[in-house]
Structure 1
């Protein structure tokens, strides 16, 4: 796989160096820096037009969906400022939070913009994800055996911590960690913690399924499955099934026999519905009980965030997360859930600023997936992002989602260039 232009070279080389960057604790720095470099290249390409070098010329105008993301993320920034003014958080905190916006929410528009405007091919993104998979498989033996031969959980905390971030775990290099509930080892690979590693594994599987070279495809699939299983994340297992199967079933909605089968299945629910509902409730109970302490903390965080949003700051939120008490194991109020976090920190305005472009983009990807195979990967990515949003603050993890975000922009460009029948 040979990159054809500077934008592709930047993306490809940055991706295949994921593990070396992780080894020095630099991933949290690399993501935002790359986003603003690619965003600047995209704006420069649009501004200069034919005056820029031929292999960096804009491939078209900014798609409407990218404009929706631009407006949404700018509204998010305004909501942040208003929230800080409402709660008199001061200039220093406002500047700090604005920098946080530039390292988080802004990435959700800068990377898709780069994919939609710059001549970056999806094949480059797919192959580089599989290269990361090969790195992961090569390093897996030492990672897996580490807790059994007496190696420490944490290797070191990187000096890059000095640039500031959500917490030291984003700059820490690990062999593994112990689950505090069961004291069994879990692996997070190059992610800050295990559940997020599982969803990065889901994304790797989605990319690998689109790889045409069988050897690279198998490397990506094997590494993705390893990340999901070794992380011991329930959300990862759900994503592995839902985000890979659903996009491939979308073409069925255009076929008459599938609608007849659906009608027959719906009719049979009159007889089997009660039993199926009972089985589903049992499955949910087992799912929650698999890590009951984690479920309890997350549900308590969500309840507190919702109550304080309703009572204190409906429209623009509290401006920042607040320290949590012992009942939530000192986790910040407004964390561990994108939607409750948005309501707590940025209020209904911030909530809608993210919800509207995300729903529009997801429906667009679903529509294209029903008509054309190129829509399967973007739909799977957006499903994974939606799933991630119910267990993490997605803006904090955007620095690791950037290949998927670029792919979303590439897909919009592909549709504009060649609309499916």
Structure 2
């Protein structure tokens, strides 16, 4: 019998479920940017307590020790902190900036390791995450008409900016209750919902669609998927639509790699691809050109930010980076150098060492979860979450949005959980 996901039992499950279902309330009061990091550190401390008390328990009751991949994530994100300190020291940025950046690390990069670590130790069932996201989806569908109607009935684009901003130390967009934005040049409305900008809402939509699809109750599943697709479409994020179109078939095929029918169907597909290869390549080039042209100004700024980041990284700080984000020149609208791209951002701020600190655990997670996902649904879902991180590492700064996509990190940690200890 399927486990009911209506009534979470453990404290960790209850915290996770309540936080997910409180997303809209937290957005309204400007508390999302605070709630994510707070939850990550609370769960990590709960996990550390479990491990501390484990030696006094019977072997069968001890929590699982963090597996190799989890340990690599923890070590890599700790390297991020050390590299940050080195970068600040190299450029004499002072104690105040170093402390501020270290707090930023605790609210960003650290969460990418802490959530999987906590999930790998604590008793958390993925069913509760799926159900909570579907319930959040129901809330979203109920209030969605307000967002859609807002720009057409004269409601203000931003309701207010929460005074909680003083606690977060980030930009006002993380604490603003924004109903919509107006696309520059086009003059058309675009929605970001509870994310700080529209492409970030697209990323969260992809996570929610994939996780909601794992819900066992058909009604809740359909509700969660429809809500996630609505967020993806209304955010008008090109990458979100590409990610959904790419990830869903990949996960479907991964679960059927042992099926002879799949391989038999693949043979004619490969032959046709060989025959029509030049045409397909030309079509792909056209699609990429249209993809970039959909928002030419945005693509131009992104590409310029990347070029500046690479040039200054190579010439000024190849190993440990500049330590802090810097705003670019007028040609990129003074946007932060390396923004909209995790790898360019890492190279500029934390150098080659910082980039490797993300690349190594990310690649290891892809390999391990792909192997496990062939025969198990949970690692397959987690593999989808890692694919989201990989895809969006080329369109967003992953650390900035970890306070939003943390359910994906928990699912990754659950899939990487080591087998429980056994009594002898």
**TM tier, smaller:** over 0.9
Of residues 384, 393, 396, the one that matches 1:392 is 396
Counterpart in the other structure of 1:48: 53
Output one character per residue of 1:24-62: Cα deviation in whole Å (capped at 9) or x when no partner: 01100111111111110000010012768xxxx753111
Counterpart in the other structure of 1:293: 297
1:338 aligns with 2:342: yes
1:401 aligns with 2:405: yes
Counterpart in the other structure of 1:6: 11
The correspondence of residues 2-401 of structure 1 with structure 2, limited to 5 A, is: 2-49=7-54, 59-255=63-259, 258-259=262-263, 262=266, 264-401=268-405
Q: Distance in 2 between matches of 1:233 and 1:358?
A: 24
Q: Distance in 1 between matches of 2:178 and 2:187?
A: 16
Judging changes above 3 Å, is the alpha-carbon distance between structure 1 residues 102 and 276 closer, same or farther for their aligned structure 2 residues?
Answer: same
Check the 8 A contact 1:243/1:381 in 2, yes or no: no
Secondary structure in 1 matching 2:194: coil
Check the 8 A contact 1:248/1:376 in 2, yes or no: no
Q: Distance in 2 between matches of 1:164 and 1:219?
A: 33
Q: Distance in 2 between matches of 1:247 and 1:59?
A: 30
Check the 8 A contact 2:326/2:337 in 1, yes or no: yes
Q: Distance in 2 between matches of 1:271 and 1:406?
A: 43
Structure 1: state its 5+ residue gaps.
none
TM superposition shift of 1:12: 1.1
TM superposition shift of 1:371: 2.0
Q: Distance in 1 between matches of 2:14 and 2:176?
A: 28
Output one character per residue of 1:264-308: Cα deviation in whole Å (capped at 9) or x when no partner: 544444431111111110011011111111100001101110111
Output one character per residue of 1:73-99: Cα deviation in whole Å (capped at 9) or x when no partner: 011111111111111111111111011
Q: Distance in 2 between matches of 1:58 and 1:95?
A: 37
Counterpart in the other structure of 2:3: none
RMSD between superposed Cα atoms in Å? 1.9
TM superposition shift of 1:102: 0.5
Q: Distance in 1 between matches of 2:260 and 2:168?
A: 55
